[in-house]
Amino acid sequence: MKGLSASSSKGDDRETGIEDVESLREKSVLLSGAVLDNRLASVGETKTDSHRAKAKWKLKSVVTLALTVLTSSQAILIVWSKRAGKYEYSVTTANFLVETLKCAISLVALARIWKKEGVTEDNQLSTTLDEVIVYPIPAALYLVKNLLQYYIFAYVDAPGYQILKNLNIISTGVLYRIILKKRLSEIQWAAFILLTAGCTTAQLNSNASEEVGSSAHSLESSQDYSIDLGVMALLSGFAGVYTEAIIKKRPSRNINVQNFWLYIFGMGFNAIAILVQDFDAVMNKGFLHGYSPITVLMIFNHALSGIAVSMVMKYADNIVKVYSTSVAMLLTAVVSVYLFGFHLSLAFFLGTTVVSVAIYLHSAGKMQR
């Protein structure tokens, strides 16, 4: 179970996956998004700016919605898997398969584009050292973060971890400002602080799910690890913002090529993680030991939401990603009421209110800028 928790938390940063039927629909949305982007890039100059802005806005909305839905279904899947029983598989092999699946999906999408529009400079797979040299960095950051997380989980319980993970929100905002040099208005900073406070409030003493519940007690027990958690929040925020910087550096480059290179290095670093963490288990019990149908579902879910995160980085930004995953967290709790008969606490309603106001202020702050 510890394995699944770790996997789920990890998923929150590389966001990924969903159920079978849903996944196919989402997949086609994502792929058509990629096609639309390609079309936009190639036709570009002949279109009016307003038409272009509208298409971009539509694309941004679609990928954001996809990310929200995928992230919520991911958390629901975790609750479901917990209910169904415990699975003793290696998290590292699952992560490796997620990266492999993402690579494969990127290649399939590319193949479709090549068939339709031919190989161009923007969608060719071959690359220069100059382009590819930065791609291992986010993969390495995620690896360090995941290993650190594994260590922290030995001391902090899952609910306490979930609450402290909200520090990512603030670190993402700060790094977004520093690294990408994009300004947030004062109102938008206020909204960001509210988002952090609102998400944490919604997770207080929640009976809604074991993932999103916590207590002051679990926080106290984790105070000694606040440096580790701070480092993790920074690492995870840095990885997100860095990925956005890499993807945005070449706006005309096809997202599927960019994803392919990201995920290739992801595979490499996760292979290292298997050697470090689960070498004995894999050798003795096999690569796929402890896998169940639900594990496979979760791998698909993680892969798809990982792609959705990339899309959001390309067409929107890390700020949108943070809002999207926060809304997903709230959605999960609401859906869990119907699916699992969970109970929503007063804290959840208060947190949801604060998060809603934060979303309003974020857009109000944008207009003001």
The contact set with a copy of itself (CB under 8 A) reads: 163, 186-187, 190, 193-194, 197-198, 200-201, 204-205, 216, 219, 345-347, 350-351, 353-354, 357, 360-361, 364, 368
The pair of three-digit structure tokens given for residue 26, joined into one six-digit string: 């989402």
DSSP assignment string, 240-307: HHHHHHHHHHSTTS-HHHHHHHHHHHHHHHHHHHHHHHHHHHHHHH-TTTT--HHHHHHHHHHHHHHH
Q: Which is closer to a copy of itself, CB of 28 or CB of 368?
A: 368
Minimum CB separation from a copy of itself for residue 163, in Å?
Answer: 8
Minimum CB separation from a copy of itself for residue 365, in Å?
Answer: 9
Q: Which is closer to a copy of itself, CB of 245 or CB of 354?
A: 354
Q: Which residues contact 209 (CB under 8 A, 6 or more apart)?
A: 75, 79, 332, 333, 336, 340, 342
Q: Which is closer to a copy of itself, CB of 250 or CB of 343?
A: 343
Q: Which is closer to a copy of itself, CB of 86 or CB of 343?
A: 343
Minimum CB separation from a copy of itself for residue 227, in Å?
Answer: 19
Largest CA distance in the chain: 61
Q: Which is closer to a copy of itself, CB of 146 or CB of 203?
A: 203
Q: Which is closer to a copy of itself, CB of 129 or CB of 367?
A: 367
Query: Cβ atoms within 10 A of the Cβ of 62, count?
Result: 18
Minimum CB separation from a copy of itself for residue 311, in Å?
Answer: 30
C-alpha to C-alpha distance for 217 and 223, rounded to whole angstroms: 10
Minimum CB separation from a copy of itself for residue 158, in Å?
Answer: 16
Minimum CB separation from a copy of itself for residue 201, in Å?
Answer: 5
Q: Which is closer to a copy of itself, CB of 31 or CB of 350?
A: 350
The pair of three-digit structure tokens given for residue 171, joined into one six-digit string: 């670190």
Q: Which is closer to a copy of itself, CB of 208 or CB of 235?
A: 208
**What per-residue string of b and e applies to 226-257 under the rule 16 or more CB within 10 Å gives b?**
eebbeebbbbbbbbbbbbbbbbeeeeebbbbb
Minimum CB separation from a copy of itself for residue 324, in Å?
Answer: 21
Q: Which residues contact 41 (CB under 8 A, 6 or more apart)?
A: 122, 252, 254
Sign of CA dihedral 21, 22, 26, 27: negative
Q: Please, how many CA atoms are within 13 Å of residue 202, restricted to the half-sphere of its CB? A: 27
Q: Which residue has the tokens 């909200």?
A: 166
Minimum CB separation from a copy of itself for residue 207, in Å?
Answer: 9
Specify whether the CB–CB gap between 63 and 259 falls below 8 A: no
